Amino acid sequence: MTQTDGAGARRFTRARTYLMCPPDYFRVEYAINPWMHPDEPADADLAMRQWQGLRETYRRLGHIVRVIDPLPGLPDMVFAANGATVIDGKVLGAQFRHAERVPEGPAYLTWFIRNGYRTAVSPRSVNEGEGDIVSAERVIFVGHGFRTDEAVAEEVEKLFGRPAITLRLVNPRFYHLDTALCVLNPDTAAYYPPAFDDAGRAALAGHFRELIEAKDEDAEVLGLNALSDGRHVVLPAAASGLAATLASKGFEPVGVDVSEFLKAGGGPKCCTLELR
């Protein structure tokens, strides 16, 4: 399906396959990013309803959702985007920075091996999956500075056979690349400029034909932690300004309530790993 905006830009929808992990054990039990405050606990029942709503949103838009079983003692395993990077059926596993999340890497890699992925590679460098490794089809962006080692760019290029462009993150509130950059299609992205250094902003401007800047108020609700199928953009409902801007550019924003996951520094994208 396609949609054309007033300026004539054509927006193409492509069905996707996503991997998600139910929030059975989701809690805010520790603080490993500035969003997490254990004295402000998440509502487990509400988190489950919000997760189910996100899953059903993907299905309603025509996408396939697969599910990995959560493991007790891993409250952040719900953030499936961090579990691996999958491009062309090849899997680069994750190696987490913080001890609290380290067991998630092997858990996700085991799922891929058991589900028939023949090329599933354990990483040499610390990387937190699609949290910091963002595919733009022709190239792959690698965020670093807080969670992921810049050196993983070499592994990415070798495994996936595409050039990697590194981007340094400089604001600890935007500790993963997917909190500050959303690739909308191969030529268009939305981003939050203050999350990047000068070189990173220049690299993004040099790659994308169109860059949409998120305002402070939308970045502060992790509005860029979103997913695009080329036409629909699933993003936090609280990011109303960004949604309006996307609509003016010919995209169809689809707001979802993910307020409980924001308490852990997450949003729709964090909960979703694309199986390319």
Instruction: Indicate which residues carry an active-site annotation.
Output: 176, 270
What is the pTM assigned to this prediction? 0.95
Residue 88: CB atoms within 10 A of its CB come to: 11
Residue 227: CB atoms within 10 A of its CB come to: 27
Element at 159 (helix H, strand E): helix 152-160
Instruction: State pLDDT tens for residues 166-218.
Output: 999 999 999 999 999 999 999 999 999 999 999 999 999 999 999 999 999 99
pLDDT the model gives residue 136: 97
Instruction: State pLDDT tens for residues 207-247.
Output: 999 999 999 999 999 999 999 999 999 999 999 999 999 99
Phi, psi (degrees; rounded to nearest 5) at 221:
-110, 20
Mean pLDDT of all residues in 62-68:
98
User: Is the pLDDT assigned to residue 5 strictly greater than 90?
Assistant: no
Q: Which domains does the chain have, with CATH numbers?
A: 13-274 (3.75.10.10)
Q: Which residues have CB under 8 Å from 69's CB, separation 6+?
A: 21, 22
Determine whether 224 is exposed, middle or buried from the number of CB atoms within 10 Å of its CB (0-12, 13-18, 19+): buried
Which DSSP symbol is given to 197?
-
Q: Which residues have CB under 8 Å from 108's CB, separation 6+?
A: 68, 80, 83, 84, 93, 94, 129
Residue 53: CB atoms within 10 A of its CB come to: 12
191, 211 contact by CB (below 8 A): yes
Structure tokens at 139: 């190239």
